Amino acid sequence: MSAAAKLWRISWRLGLCGLLLAWVFHTIFLGEARPAWEQAGRNWASLSRLEQWGIAWTYGPPELWRKLSVVRPAQGLLSLVFMGLTILLGMLRWRMVLRVQGIDFPLGRAAEISFVAHFFNSFLLGSTGGDLMKAYYAARETHHLKTEAVVTVFVDRLIGLLSMLGFAVLMMIPNLSLLAAHKRLAALAVIIVLMLLAGSAVVALAFWGGLARRWPRARHWLERMPKSETLFRSLGACRRFGQHPRFLFEALGLSMVLNVACVLQVWALAGGLGLQIQPTALFVIVPVIICISALPITPSGLGLRENLYVWMLAVPEIHIDATSALSLSLLAYAGSLLWSLVGGVVYVTFRERHHLNEVVAEKQPETA
């Protein structure tokens, strides 16, 4: 891919991220400014559109900051604990995936790489961009199993996403009346179900195959692709997971605990902000937002995630105002950023000692 194409691909995603964030902030600031302006005895309707926008961006930011700063310390700390727990559980699941391939990373080394990956997740596309860094470092750690090490990273993410999708669908059952009452929520539920079906099909094909048996020419076509040897080695590594059904059961079980921790992080913050949100509603809303934000549309899902929080929490049954919903989203992301700082320290402090050298943008990881 040319440098111009790479620049365009990054630029339009950053631009979209900026537009989504600008839209949600602008809408919320307008909602905050109008009542404040009218309570002062002034006529909002008499203002021009530009004057309204100027007042919105004057009144809005202080109100948002006020709501961000009132989170109760105990709940805020509890939220950070749950966030750290998700990273720990994710690291333990990756070690389970590695062992299927005969790779046994020391616990400390796996933790270092996981924290570095979380650090890069803070600004790479989607909420899975750090996986590229994890794959790079995993390949560096293994001289004779580079391809298998890279495959473990993407299989780990695939299992995590599939479990979160399944968790979201499962949590739709106690929330059927809520989803059915609002077209926006029903549409998101349909998207999640379709993503689950697609993810299940990918896992089935990757772990158990079947294409070559149904279409004999498929193997011949794959053999003609560039780096076909690496491709077949990757497919072989994926088949190994299908030969260990106990692994899949245990990995999904651990992932379900991780999913609960993700929801509890937001639940703790909601309590810290004094928001009255039914836990059953959060147990479907948070997984839906996480799954859709994982799509590589904007850096770290910014903008997309905030709009979803504002959009989903505004329904009458939950009735959370836009500023509070945005505060909840931003505080949840801030908790993730605080833990990413740990990964940043690991990256800077230990990159030479453990060969965590910076990746040159043009260099591709060797997975042969």
One pLDDT digit (tens) per residue for the chain, 368 residues: 567 776 676 676 567 656 756 766 676 677 667 777 877 778 888 888 888 888 888 877 887 677 667 788 899 999 999 999 999 999 999 999 999 988 888 888 888 888 888 887 765 544 455 777 787 777 777 767 788 888 888 899 899 999 999 999 999 999 999 999 998 899 999 999 999 999 999 888 888 876 555 566 656 565 666 666 677 778 888 888 888 888 989 999 999 999 999 999 999 999 999 998 999 999 999 999 999 988 777 666 667 888 899 889 988 999 898 888 888 988 888 888 788 888 777 777 765 555 544 443 334 444 43
CA distance 56 to 37: 9
The residue assigned the tokens 């860094």 is 133
* DSSP type of residue 361: T
Paired tokens of 226: 């560039």
Burial of 28 (0-12, 13-18, 19+ CB in 10 A): buried
Rounded to the nearest 10 degrees, the angle between the axes of helix 146-172 and helix 245-272 is 60
**pLDDT at 261 (0 to 100):** 96
Paired tokens of 290: 């996480």
CA distance 124 to 359: 14
**pLDDT at 26 (0 to 100):** 72
Q: How many CB atoms lie within 10 A of CB 65?
A: 11
**pLDDT at 85 (0 to 100):** 95
Closest CA to 121 of 293, 358, 306: 293
**pLDDT at 343 (0 to 100):** 79
Phi/psi for 85 (5° steps) reads: -65, -35
**pLDDT at 363 (0 to 100):** 43
Q: Residue 191 contacts by C-beta under 8 Å, 6 or more apart in sequence? A: 292
The residue assigned the tokens 């913050």 is 269
Closest CA to 79 of 360, 329, 298: 329
pTM as predicted: 0.76
Please state, in angstroms and as integers, the Cα–Cα distance from residue 368 to each residue in 104, 120, 142, 364, following that order: 20, 24, 11, 11
Paired tokens of 230: 């690496």
CA distance 36 to 42: 9
Phi/psi for 317 (5° steps) reads: -65, -25
The residue assigned the tokens 């990964």 is 343
**pLDDT at 96 (0 to 100):** 92
